[in-house]
């Protein structure tokens, strides 16, 4: 999903201009970022949850030389889909397979 896709959906459903929809999409994205930074978690009911996870310091390998390299500890955002989203995705996959057989 892209910001343009989100803007188009908002513009069509809200019957507003593309500029206003783009501003609204940007505001929604900023609100989600702010919530993740402040609380470390953001949940959208029937869609899923975003959560910050810390990554530990570890040793990796340089693919070119094969030498060991120290990788610093950090953080990443993980997404866990809700059961409703998983069910809808599974139904879509099954529907796609039925169309392919026909």
11-39 confidence digits (pLDDT tens): 999 888 999 999 999 999 999 999 999 99
58-71 confidence digits (pLDDT tens): 999 999 999 999 99
Residue 28 neighbours by CB distance under 10 Å: 13
| 16 and 49 both lie in a single domain | no
| 47 and 31 both lie in a single domain | no
For residue 40, the 8-state DSSP code is S
Residues 6+ apart with CB under 8 A from 39: none
| 95 and 80 both lie in a single domain | yes
Residues 6+ apart with CB under 8 A from 49: 41, 42, 43, 79, 80, 82
What's the predicted TM-score (pTM) here?
Answer: 0.70
Q: Are 79 and 41 in contact (CB under 8 A)?
A: no
Host domain of residue 31: 1-39
Residue 44: which CATH number? 4.10.520.10
Report how many domains make up the chain.
2
| 58 and 32 both lie in a single domain | no
Q: Are 70 and 62 in contact (CB under 8 A)?
A: no
């Amino acid at each position: 999903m892209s910001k343009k896709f989100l803007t188009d959906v908002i513009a069509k459903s809200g019957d507003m201009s593309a500029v206003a929809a783009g501003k609204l999409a940007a505001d929604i994205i900023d609100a989600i970022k702010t919530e993740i930074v402040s609380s470390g978690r953001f949940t959208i009911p029937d869609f899923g949850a975003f959560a910050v996870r810390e990554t530990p310091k570890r040793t990796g390998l340089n693919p070119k030389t094969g030498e060991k390299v120290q990788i610093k500890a950090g953080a990443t955002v993980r997404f866990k889909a809700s059961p409703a989203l998983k069910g809808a995705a599974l139904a879509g996959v099954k529907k796609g397979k039925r169309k392919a057989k026909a």
